[in-house]
Amino acid sequence: MKRSKAKVNSSTEKEFVFEFRAGRNNCVLKVPLQFPVDENVCDLHGRLMLLHKIPCFVENELKALLSSFIERETVQDYDRDAEQALQRLASGEVDLHQLTDAWAKSYSETTLEHACPEEASWDEDFADVYHELIHSPASDTLLNLEHNYFVSISELISERDMEIKKLQERQAGEMEKVMQELGKTLTDQDVNAVASQHFDAQQVLEQKWASELKQVSHIQKQEYQDWVIKLHEDLQNPNNSQINEEIKVAPSQLEEPVEPGGRMCEEQSQLEESFTIHLGAQLKTMHNLRLLRAHVLTFCKHRHHGSSGTKLRRLQTALSLYSSSLCSLVLLVDNRVNSYSGMKRDFATVSQECTDFHFPRLEEQLQLIQQVLLYARAQRSSRQRHQPEAPRNGGSEDKNKNVERNPSNILPGEFYISRHSNLSEVHMVFHLCVDDNVRSGNITARDPAIMGLRNILKVCCTHDITTITIPLLLVHHMSEEMTIPWCLKRAELVFKCVKGFMMEMASWDGGVSRTVQFLVPQSISDEMFYQLSNMLPQIFRVSSTLTLTSKH
Residue ending a domain, among 73, 91, 112, is 112
The pLDDT value given to residue 305 = 56
The closest of 445, 459, 538 to 490, measured between CA atoms, is 445
Q: Which residues pair with 278 in a beta bridge?
A: 286
The pLDDT value given to residue 163 = 93
Whether residue 385 is found in the same domain as residue 302: yes
Q: Which residue has the higher pLDDT, 270 or 142?
A: 142
Whether residue 343 is found in the same domain as residue 470: yes
2 within some domain: no
State the Cα–Cα distance between residues 167 and 17, nearest whole angstrom: 103
551 within some domain: no
439 within some domain: yes
Whether residue 536 is found in the same domain as residue 460: yes
Name the average pLDDT for the chain: 82
Query: For residues 152 and 144, is the Cβ–Cβ distance under 8 A?
Result: no
Whether residue 233 is found in the same domain as residue 88: no
The pLDDT value given to residue 250 = 43
Strands 326-333 and 465-471: parallel
Specify the number of domains making up the chain. 3
Contacts of 412 (CB under 8 A, 6+ apart): 335, 433, 434, 435, 437, 448, 449, 452
pLDDT tops 70 at residue 438: yes
Whether residue 301 is found in the same domain as residue 217: no
The closest of 409, 445, 262 to 337, measured between CA atoms, is 409
The pLDDT value given to residue 364 = 92
Residue ending a domain, among 253, 286, 321, is 253
State the Cα–Cα distance between residues 414 and 505, nearest whole angstrom: 20
4 within some domain: no
Where residue 428 sits, what CATH number does that domain have? Answer: 3.40.220.10
The pLDDT value given to residue 395 = 46
Query: For residues 290 and 272, is the Cβ–Cβ distance under 8 A?
Result: yes
Query: For residues 469 and 328, is the Cβ–Cβ distance under 8 A?
Result: yes
pLDDT tops 50 at residue 3: no
pLDDT tier at 2 (50, 70, 90 boundaries)? Answer: very low
The pLDDT value given to residue 112 = 67
Whether residue 249 is found in the same domain as residue 264: no
CB atoms under 10 Å from CB of 331, counted, come to 23
State the Cα–Cα distance between residues 30 and 376, nearest whole angstrom: 62
State the Cα–Cα distance between residues 142 and 157, nearest whole angstrom: 23
Domain encompassing residue 22: 12-112
Going 145 to 146 to 151 to 157, the CA torsion angle's sign is positive
Whether residue 446 is found in the same domain as residue 299: yes
409 within some domain: yes
Whether residue 244 is found in the same domain as residue 260: no
The closest of 521, 352, 333 to 413, measured between CA atoms, is 333
550 within some domain: no
pLDDT tops 50 at residue 92: yes
Task: For residue 415, give Cα distances in angstroms to 137, 150, 359, 535.
Answer: 39, 29, 19, 29
Whether residue 35 is found in the same domain as residue 59: yes
Residue ending a domain, among 201, 227, 253, is 253
387 within some domain: yes
The closest of 291, 339, 344, 310 to 425, measured between CA atoms, is 310
State the Cα–Cα distance between residues 66 and 385, nearest whole angstrom: 56
- 3-state SS, one letter per residue, for 345-359: HHHHHHHHCCCCCCC
Return the minimum-mean-pLDDT range out of 46-55, 152-161, 438-447: 46-55
CB atoms under 10 Å from CB of 503, counted, come to 13
State the Cα–Cα distance between residues 186 and 435, nearest whole angstrom: 44
pLDDT tier at 547 (50, 70, 90 boundaries)? Answer: low
Whether residue 345 is found in the same domain as residue 478: yes
DSSP string of 308-350, one letter each residue: HHHHHHHHHHHHTTTSS-EEEEEEEE-SB-SSSSHHHHHHHHH
Q: Which residue has the higher pLDDT, 15 or 403?
A: 15
Share above pLDDT 70 across residues of the chain, in percent, rounded to a whole number: 83
Task: Give the mean model confidence (pLDDT) for residues 350-361.
Answer: 91
Whether residue 511 is found in the same domain as residue 399: yes
Q: Which residues pair with 409 in a beta bridge?
A: 336
State the Cα–Cα distance between residues 521 and 482, nearest whole angstrom: 12
The pLDDT value given to residue 396 = 47
pLDDT tops 50 at residue 253: no
Amino acid (one-letter) located at 533 = S
What's the distance, CA 340 to chain centroid?
A: 23
Q: What are the pLDDT digits (tens) for 513-537?
A: 889 999 999 999 999 999 999 999 8
Q: What are the pLDDT digits (tens) for 57-75?
A: 888 888 888 888 888 888 8
The closest of 95, 63, 75 to 35, measured between CA atoms, is 75
The pLDDT value given to residue 457 = 93
Q: Which helix (H) or strand (E) segment is 287 a member of? A: strand 285-293
The pLDDT value given to residue 220 = 93
447 within some domain: yes
Whether residue 222 is found in the same domain as residue 144: yes
Share above pLDDT 90 across residues of the chain, in percent, rounded to a whole number: 34
